[in-house]
Amino acid sequence: MNGFFTAKDAKEKQKFRVSLANLCVLCGKSLLIFWFSQIAFAADVLHLYNWNNYISAQTVARFEAECHCTVVQDYYSDNEEMLAKLAAGASGYDILVPTGNAVDALIRQGALRPIDKRQLPNFKNLNPAYLNTAFDPGNRYSVPYAYTLTLIGYNVEKMRALGVPTDTWAAIFEPKYLAKMKGRVTVLDSQRELMAAAMKYLGYSANDTDEAKWRQARDLIIRAKPYWAAFNASSYIKELTVGNIWLAHGYSSDMFQAAQDAKRAGRPFTIGYSAPKEGAILALDSMVLHKSGPRPDLAHRFINFMLDGKNSAELTNLIGSGNPNLAAMPYIRPEIAGNAAIFPGREQLARLEMLKDIDRNHRRVLSRMWTEIKLH
């Protein structure tokens, strides 16, 4: 029996050892290649942590050619996601592009590197209306990049046929209008944005943290909720374009895209979008330097590059985002530049508000209200 085991087993052992050795060599080789490629890449690399679809590929390519470096991008779809990942220890990012309230949180945490304006000759191109914000007076840490408005987008023909006004938040909050569009309205799946819209409709500031006012806003939302189809953060573009949804609460750049898609697909309707008269939320995204970034020099070059009018205009022409850069205006397509929902005029600007970060106790209260809204 001993002989039987060793004989059969010797052949199998040999086969096993050979295949194991091959596997080890293969793993070793691939691991080596992996590590070396990482080191090689560290040479002249700019790490950019940006929103999805928030920079044109041509712009990136042109920058890479000009600076003889590589741009490695990572994406997030929500400010909270980015903040959570940074809190979880993510590092090595040269540039982030957070929205105002996230810049607020990052500055107060001391997570950002001050900007050296001497390396940014193009800084003067910026529109003063978007500088010296409440969260970064003097722009010591942030450089405005692009902005969007949170507003309502709609199927123009359907709204006209049903007689629903499109210049007010009442279109998504008042049952008398909602009853005509039951199941055809979506709102953003964002605590802050939806509460802000409700507060604005009630006539309060979106940054008011009075719990009594929050409760009023919550009740307003709960009253309107039965008529809404869904809380939706992104697929409302498609739903509007295809015609399933007639009215959506969303971002101006998304509405721009929906309008373009509808025209290209030859739909029998057009998508319109406008900022409500009670006021809307302005989301100003700025480029900031994270203190763990290894290449602040490349980062400054990138920021200066993006502050050039022509480069800055490319994003606007691509996705219809607002542009705080005055030098970019000549390069922007006239139908975009003239659109008040994308480039609000001065009096419209006065009615817009930027969201501020809220402290942890209020965050908890808001989170509970959001659960109540969802469960109701």
Could you tell me which of 232, 161, 168, 159 has the C-alpha nearest to residue 197?
Answer: 168
To the nearest whole angstrom, how small is the minimum distance from the Cβ of residue 257 to another protein?
11
Q: Is residue 92 a contact residue for another protein (CB under 8 A)?
A: yes
In the region spanning residues 182 to 211, those forming contacts with another protein, defined by CB under 8 A, are 183, 191
Contact region for another protein (CB under 8 A) — 147-155, 205-213, 227-235, 276-284? Answer: 227-235
Length of the chain, in residues: 376
To the nearest whole angstrom, how small is the minimum distance from the Cβ of residue 367 to another protein?
4
Measure CA 96 to chain center.
11
Q: Is residue 81 a contact residue for another protein (CB under 8 A)?
A: yes
Contact region for another protein (CB under 8 A) — 221-229, 272-280, 303-311, 318-326? Answer: 221-229
Report the C-alpha gap between 34 and 31 in whole angstroms. Answer: 5
Q: Is residue 270 a contact residue for another protein (CB under 8 A)?
A: no
Report the C-alpha gap between 373 and 352 in whole angstroms. Answer: 25
Q: Is residue 17 a contact residue for another protein (CB under 8 A)?
A: no
- Residue 145's Cβ-side half-sphere holds a number of Cα atoms within 13 Å equal to 24
Nearer to another protein, 117 or 238 (CB): 238
Residue count, binding to another protein (CB under 8 A): 61
Q: Identify the residue among 45, 56, 80, 119 touching another protein (CB under 8 A).
A: 80
The residues with which 250 forms a beta bridge, in sequence order, are 151
Q: Is residue 235 a contact residue for another protein (CB under 8 A)?
A: yes
> Could you tell me the CA-to-CA distances from 108 to 88, 208, 357, 359 in Å, in that order?
17, 20, 10, 12
Q: Identify the residue among 48, 49, 336, 341 touching another protein (CB under 8 A).
A: 49
Q: Identify the residue among 35, 36, 41, 75 touching another protein (CB under 8 A).
A: 75
Q: Is residue 364 a contact residue for another protein (CB under 8 A)?
A: yes
Nearer to another protein, 250 or 279 (CB): 250
CB 51 within 8 A of CB 77: yes
Nearer to another protein, 227 or 302 (CB): 227
To the nearest whole angstrom, how small is the minimum distance from the Cβ of residue 19 to another protein?
11
CB 127 within 8 A of CB 229: no
Report the C-alpha gap between 189 and 234 in whole angstroms. Answer: 9
Strands, DSSP E only, in the chain?
Answer: 45-51, 70-76, 95-96, 112-113, 142-155, 185-187, 230-231, 247-251, 271-274, 281-290
Q: Is residue 7 a contact residue for another protein (CB under 8 A)?
A: no
In the region spanning residues 104 to 163, those forming contacts with another protein, defined by CB under 8 A, are 105, 108-109
Nearer to another protein, 75 or 161 (CB): 75
Measured at the CA of 357, the angle between CA 273 and CA 290, to 5 degrees, comes to: 100
Burial class of 311 by CB neighbour count within 10 A (0 to 12, 13 to 18, 19+): buried
Packed helices 211-224 and 191-202: angle between N→C axes, nearest 10 degrees: 100
Q: Identify the residue among 7, 12, 118, 266 touching another protein (CB under 8 A).
A: 12
* Binding stretches for another protein (CB under 8 A): 1-2, 5-6, 9, 12-13, 16, 27, 30, 34, 49, 52-53, 72, 74-75, 77-78, 80-81, 83-85, 87-93, 105, 108-109, 183, 191, 225, 228-231, 233-235, 238, 241-242, 244, 357, 359-360, 363-364, 366-368, 371-372, 374-376
